[in-house]
Structure 1
């Protein structure tokens, strides 16, 4: 049997079909402890579906997914979810319905993997939440209602929420969506600080904008029509050829301080 001492997740020929439509096809790859992956592809390529499979909201139609807790279908999926940090637009949307939740309360809810607070928390929980708010540069907003935060401040508060329980795996689904350049760079700076901690999580970072990937991304998986086009080191996968194929554009890659930038060829 495969040694999972260093492997958090192992996709083994995973396919997903919903409503008769194939969403993922024969996905095979591993995420090891502390690895930072970028997951890139056009809208509809299967990126979010892959994340939902990891979180147990969508189940594989074929193949197997094995986590550090065991094989999906045989483990307590709710317990697993509590050990996965997630930042996404859908999470932001759900918090928009919580009219009075403050930034501090949003972060605290990450201890319980809930939307809103429904369990008793301790003084040390508050101190921990405040520590991470400070770490991500928004401590001064701790008592501000979430709805009154800027989009960049909301995203950083959701990042603090995702990390407060210090999970081994962090899933970021288009985290820079809706951010202006300043907000994007502030968020990426906060994320880089997190990824340089001694106990930094493994990261799966979903985007279709290459320049939004943090420098610390080591590996990239390119998805096209639900299939893996290529995977491996970012310098081996983010070539002109592969990027043109995955995004269906005539373009080239320019590297600047370990971040790739897509330059569209003029017609």
Structure 2
């Protein structure tokens, strides 16, 4: 499979307003991407197109070699894991669930277990706990976890379906510095078994595991490509609508805002 995701002249309109404009973008096998842009720039709209919840108004679109218009999007979604701070709205539902139950529910795309769980499923849960260095949480209730631990457990839940694409939509939103770094430390492990699509407006969250970046502004792509080529002063200033300078430290980019004259 050469292209994991392929946008060809994709436009999406809502209520006669053009939300995404002439998007041309390819994610190739083995690449790990970040989508970077301001709030309201179109990042979530891109995700909704990829997952098939919004359908392109015009253009050609494929995800995992499945051509939109000729594929069952509900089946396609089973190959895409999704983690977002928006999932926090389900916390009341799963407060008393064990960590293992929360993770295994990802196989059924539910919060709560309403179907039979096999021994193979529980073995996979154990494997996910091991891979994400969460074994110390085994047997604990979701309600007693820190915010950072909850996000990592939700990432484990997304991995239960063994997705070919794992979307992390601002997974560090609302976390303190320690919790954020605990989530970001998982990136190197996650990239071994899936294609990451990490969405943020915080450039310092782009870890060494990320190989490519797409910059989004006002529904258009400012630039796409290898991160060192894309994360430049000029392109980031255009994306963020304010003069900035980027510097690299510890394999990660950091921003400085230029003082307005």
TM tier, smaller: over 0.9
Greater shift, 140-149 or 99-108, is seen at: 140-149
CA contact (8 A) 2:187 2:209 kept: no
Q: Tell me how far apart the structure 1 counterparts of residues 207 and 143 of structure 2 sit (CA, whole Å).
A: 27
Q: State which of 93, 98, 101 in structure 1 corresponds to 2:94.
A: 98
CA shift, 1:115, in A, is: 2.9
Equivalent position of 1:119 in the other structure: 115
Q: State which of 163, 169, 172 in structure 1 corresponds to 2:168.
A: 172
After TM superposition, the structure 1 = structure 2 runs for residues 121-200 of structure 1, keeping only pairs within 5 Å, are 121-195=117-191, 197=192, 200=193
Ranges in structure 1 where 5+ consecutive residues have no aligned partner: none
Equivalent position of 2:56 in the other structure: 60
RMSD over aligned Cα atoms: 1.5
Aligned length: 260
**Structure 1 residues 115 and 58: CA distance shift in structure 2, 3 A:** farther
After TM superposition, the structure 1 = structure 2 runs for residues 70-89 of structure 1, keeping only pairs within 5 Å, are 70-89=66-85
CA contact (8 A) 2:147 2:175 kept: yes
1:209 aligns with 2:202: yes
Q: For residues 145-182 of structure 1, what are the alpha-carbon distances to aligned partners after superposition, in whole Å with 9 as ceiling and x for unaligned?
A: 32332110011011111122321111110011111111
CA contact (8 A) 2:103 2:157 kept: yes
Q: State which of 208, 211, 220 in structure 2 corresponds to 1:227.
A: 220
Equivalent position of 2:248 in the other structure: 255
TM-score (norm 2): 0.94
Q: Which runs of 4+ in 1 moved over 4 A?
A: none
CA contact (8 A) 2:9 2:58 kept: yes
Q: Tell me how far apart the structure 1 counterparts of residues 121 and 200 of structure 2 sit (CA, whole Å).
A: 32
CA contact (8 A) 1:36 1:216 kept: yes
Q: Tell me how far apart the structure 1 counterparts of residues 12 and 63 of structure 2 sit (CA, whole Å).
A: 18
Q: Secondary structure at the match of 2:107?
A: coil
